[in-house]
C-alpha cells in the first residue's frame, strides 16, 4: 500500500495533502532544494539575525572608536597647548592616531567578513545545508576575504586618521626649521 502525498507551499503556510484527501497545514515554511534536509525559514531568519547583530556591533564599535579618538585628540591638544616641548605632543598624537587607526581597521575588516559570511550562509541554507547551524565562528567556513591592510588603507578611514598625522608631520617640520634658525 503506497501513500501519495502532494506538498504545496506558500510564504505563509505549507499544506500537505495525502492520497486519501486529508490535508495538514503548517505555518512553518521550509526552504529546501533537492536535499533531504529542509531548513525552516524561521531558523534561517534567526541565524541571519545573529549575523546581522554582529555586523551592527562591529559598525557601532567603529563609530565609538572614532568618537574616542576625537575626544583623546582634543584632550591632548588642550593639555599640551602651552607646552614648549612640541615633540612630546606630536608623538602622543601620532601614537594615538596609529593605534586607533589600527583598531578601527580591525572592526571594519571584521564587519566586512561578517557581511560576506551573511551572504554565504544564505546560499548554504537555501541549498539545505544545516551543518554548523547558528555558528558565528568565521574560521568554520572557507571564504575569500579582503586583507586587513585593505581595510587599514581604505578610503573610509584612511583620510580620517591620515590627516592628523600629516598635520603632526607639518608641525614637527615647522618646529624643527623654526628652532634651528
Domain segments of the chain as ranges: 1-31, 40-180
- Calpha distance 115→149 (Å, rounded): 17
- Most trustworthy range by pLDDT among 5-19, 69-83, 92-106, 119-133: 92-106
How would residue 26 be classed by pLDDT, with cut points 50, 70 and 90?
Answer: very low
Which of 19-33, 56-70, 76-90, 131-145 is the least confident region?
19-33
CA neighbor of 25 nearest in space, from 37, 17, 33: 17
Work out the average pLDDT over 36-56.
Answer: 82
More confident of the two residues 151 and 10: 151
How would residue 135 be classed by pLDDT, with cut points 50, 70 and 90?
Answer: confident
More confident of the two residues 71 and 116: 71
Q: Is the pLDDT of residue 173 over 60?
A: yes
- Calpha distance 40→1 (Å, rounded): 30
Amino acid at each position: 500500500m503506497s501513500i501519495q502525498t502532494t506538498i504545496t507551499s506558500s510564504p505563509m503556510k505549507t499544506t500537505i495533502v495525502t492520497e486519501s484527501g486529508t490535508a495538514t497545514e503548517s505555518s512553518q515554511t521550509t526552504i529546501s532544494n533537492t536535499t533531504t534536509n529542509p531548513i525552516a525559514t524561521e531558523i534561517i531568519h534567526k541565524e541571519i539575525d545573529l549575523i546581522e547583530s554582529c555586523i551592527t556591533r562591529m559598525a557601532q564599535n567603529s563609530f565609538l572608536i572614532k568618537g574616542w579618538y576625537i575626544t583623546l585628540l582634543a584632550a591632548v591638544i588642550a593639555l599640551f597647548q602651552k607646552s614648549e616641548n612640541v615633540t612630546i605632543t606630536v608623538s602622543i598624537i601620532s601614537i594615538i592616531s596609529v593605534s586607533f587607526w589600527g583598531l578601527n581597521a580591525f572592526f571594519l575588516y571584521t564587519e566586512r567578513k561578517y557581511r560576506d559570511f551573511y551572504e554565504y550562509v544564505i546560499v548554504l541554507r537555501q541549498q539545505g545545508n544545516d551543518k554548523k547551524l547558528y555558528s558565528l565562528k568565521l574560521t568554520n567556513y572557507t571564504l575569500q576575504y579582503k586583507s586587513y591592510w585593505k581595510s587599514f588603507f581604505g578610503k573610509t578611514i584612511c583620510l580620517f586618521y591620515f590627516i592628523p598625522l600629516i598635520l603632526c608631520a607639518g608641525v614637527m617640520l615647522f618646529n624643527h626649521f623654526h628652532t634651528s634658525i
